[in-house]
Structure 1
C-alpha cells in the first residue's frame, strides 16, 4: 500500500526570517516549556489544510493554482504578538502572529476557494494567520500570557519580510523537518 500524506497550502517564509525566529526561540525557550518545538525549516503560515489528498484532486488543485492566485502580487508582513491556542493555562499551540494584511486575507480566500472547487472539504474556521512555534505546554506552573512578548530584534525593532511564494507542502511525520515542498507557486509582480 502506498504511503498517504497530509497536504496543505501555505505562505512560504524567507529563510532569513525562519533563522531569526529559530534564534529567538533558542534564546527564549527555557521560559516556555513546551513539549515539541517546530523545526526552523517548517515555519509557515497555513492557507488551506487539505488532509489526505487523492491524486486526482491534488493534481487538479496544483494544475490551476498559479492561475487562481495570479492577481496576488508579492507583499510584506511583519511579526507581531505571541499567542496561544487551547486552554489559557495549558495551551496546545504557541505561535507568533503577523500584522493584519488585506493581501494575505485575499490570498487565503483565493487558495481556499480554489481548493473547494477542486473538491476538497476544508475546515470552516475563520482564518487566523500565525506561525506555529511549539506544541503542548508541559510547564510545572500554568502558562502566563503576560510573559509572552512580540518577537523583535535585540534593539526592539519589528521584523518585516517579503512573501513571494505559496507552497503545497507534504507532511512526513517521521522526519525532521517534516514538511516537504510538493509544488511551489511564485507570486508575480505585474507592474
Structure 2
C-alpha cells in the first residue's frame, strides 16, 4: 500500500543552496541517505499507509484549512541532529519557533485524528532533513556545520506520495494554498 506524508516543499533556490552547502560537509561518508534538492521539505505529519477512500476524505478535510491560514514566514536557524551526537540518526536544518507553523501542524493533526488515521504522535519539531541513517562507517561524528539565517514564506503545503525507488522520492498529489486573511 502507498505511504504518504503531509509537508511543505522548500523554494527551489533554497533547497539547492542547502544541498550545495551540505556537499562541503561530506555527509555521504557518515550517512546512507542524502535527499536530493527536490525532496527537501518540512514534514507536518507522517501518515504511512492510507487506503484510497480515506485519503480522498482527508484531502477534502485538508482543503478546509486553506482559508484558515495565511502564508507563514519562517527562518532557518542553524544545523542540528537527532540521536547520539557521535552517531546521529539525522542531520537537519533547524527552524526558529513560529507559532503559526505550530498551529498549522496542529490543525493538520486534528484533521487526521478526526478520520481515525493512525499517525505519528511524536512532538512536532520543524526541520529540514539533510542526511539520515547513520552508516556506521565512522566511529565519531564531529563536524562543524552551520548555515546563515534565512527566511522564506510558506504559501502552501501538500500531501506527498512516497516512492522510495524513484528520484526524487516524494510526489505531491494534492496541494493546499494558504489563502486566509492576515
Q: TM-score, normalised by structure 2?
A: 0.92
C-alpha contact 1:169 1:179 (8 A) present in aligned 2: yes
Classify the secondary structure of the residue corresponding to 1:121: coil
Q: Secondary structure at the match of 2:18?
A: helix
Candidates 138, 146, 151, aligned match of 1:140: 138
**Matches of 2:71 and 2:21, distance apart in 1:** 26
Work out the CA distance in 1 between the residues paired with 2:139 and 2:47. Answer: 36
Indicate the RMSD between aligned Cα atoms, in angstroms. 1.7
Residue number in structure 2 paired with 1:155: none
Please tell me whether residue 150 in structure 1 is matched to residue 130 in structure 2. no
* Large movers: runs of 4+ above 4 Å: none
Once the two structures are overlaid, the 10-residue window that deviates more, 98-107 or 11-20, is 11-20
How far apart in 2 are the matches of 1:31 and 1:184?
Answer: 32
Q: Provide the secondary structure at the position in 2 that maps to 1:169.
A: strand
Q: Secondary structure at the match of 2:160?
A: strand
Structure 1 equivalent of residue 157 of structure 2 = 166
Where in structure 1 are there 5+ consecutive unaligned residues?
153-157
- 8 Å CA contact 2:75–2:95 kept in 1: the answer is yes
> Displacement of 1:45 after TM fit?
0.8
Cα deviation digits, residues 4-42 of structure 1 (max 9, x gap): 211011122111211111111123326963222111100
- SS of residue matched to 1:105: helix
Q: 2:116 aligns with which of 94, 115, 119?
A: 119
Structure 2: distance between partners of 1:80 and 1:59: 35
Unaligned regions of 5+ residues in structure 2, if any?
Answer: none
